[in-house]
Structures are given as structure tokens and as C-alpha cells.
């Protein structure tokens, strides 16, 4: 009887620690992520501006013009970059889900894929997606988009 009484608190403590570890995510989540940043209206940047572990977008084709980058899901792009994406570079190990409206509403319709694959880029997103991005989030797979 003594042993079963002791097991209950140990089991509860084990479950509490397990829950905390699950909330923290995988150990690789500790990778440094670039803070959101964008260029000013006057600044013009190229592809080398995009840091590792970030998703970067540019207002012009060929990775030129005003730009925005973030290593975090972004529920709403700034006024300077909202609805201005023409090229992108995903420098993360995650899929990036693109949305036409803030707060991840209405997945952006780019023919041929559900989201942006890890470590992929496009120098021109094409007519259907050009200047339509308002928010994006990171996911573990394209089926999560």
C-alpha cells in the first residue's frame, strides 16, 4: 500500500515535467532566429541581406527593393511590406505558409504548392501571388499549411 501511495505523486511530477518539455518544443527550436526587420522606404537591398534561419520577402523581382525578414511567424506584415511580395527566400528548415490576409486568413493561392518549402526561393512569385501576402507562419510540413 505504501508503494502505490508513493507512485501517484511521482507519476504526477513526471507528467508535469513531460508537459513542460512538450510545450518548449524540440531541442532544435533553440536555434537563434533573426528578429523581424525591414528596410526603410529609401533602402534597396539584395539577396545577401537575408539572414540564416529567416524567411525573407522583397517587393521586386530578383530579390531587389524594400525587404522584410523574420525568423518568427508573422500575423501581420508592416504597412511598408503588406501586399508587396514579389520574391522570397526561405532560409529555414521549416515550411512557410503564406496568407492573403492578416492573422493567417485565406491561404495564398500559388499554383503547384501548399507552402514554401524549406531552403527554397523564388525570384518572382508570378501573377497569382504577386503583391498579395499579408501574413505567414512556419510549419513542420506542407500538410500543416
Q: Looking at the predicted structure, is the pLDDT value of residue 13 above 50? A: no
Q: Is the dihedral of CA 125, 127, 131, 137 positive or negative?
A: negative
Return the closest-CA partner of residue 49 out of 8, 88, 99, 3. 88
103-143 tens-digit pLDDT? 999 998 776 667 899 999 999 988 888 999 999 999 999 88
CA distance 42 to 45: 10
User: Is the separation of the CB atoms in 56 and 68 below 8 Å?
Assistant: yes
Q: What average pLDDT is seen over the chain?
A: 76
Q: Looking at the predicted structure, is the pLDDT value of residue 22 above 80? A: no
* Percentage of residues of the chain with pLDDT beyond 90: 47
Q: Which residues pair with 58 in a beta bridge?
A: 67, 87
User: Is the separation of the CB atoms in 76 and 82 below 8 Å?
Assistant: yes
Stated pTM of the model: 0.71
Q: Which residues pair with 48 in a beta bridge?
A: none
Amino acid at each position: 500500500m505504501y508503494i502505490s501511495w508513493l507512485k501517484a505523486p511521482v507519476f504526477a511530477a513526471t507528467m508535469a515535467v513531460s508537459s513542460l518539455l512538450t510545450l518548449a518544443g524540440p531541442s532544435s527550436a533553440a536555434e537563434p532566429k533573426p528578429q523581424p526587420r525591414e528596410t526603410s522606404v529609401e533602402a534597396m537591398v539584395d539577396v545577401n541581406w537575408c539572414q540564416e534561419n529567416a524567411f525573407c520577402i522583397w517587393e521586386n523581382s530578383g530579390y531587389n527593393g524594400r525587404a522584410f525578414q523574420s525568423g518568427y511567424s508573422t500575423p501581420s506584415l508592416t504597412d511598408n511590406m503588406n501586399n508587396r511580395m514579389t520574391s522570397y527566400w526561405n532560409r529555414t528548415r521549416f515550411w512557410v505558409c503564406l496568407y492573403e490576409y492578416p492573422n493567417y486568413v485565406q491561404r495564398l493561392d500559388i499554383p503547384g504548392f501548399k507552402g514554401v518549402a524549406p531552403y527554397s526561393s523564388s525570384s518572382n512569385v508570378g501573377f497569382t501571388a504577386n503583391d498579395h501576402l499579408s501574413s505567414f507562419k512556419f510549419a513542420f510540413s506542407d500538410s500543416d499549411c
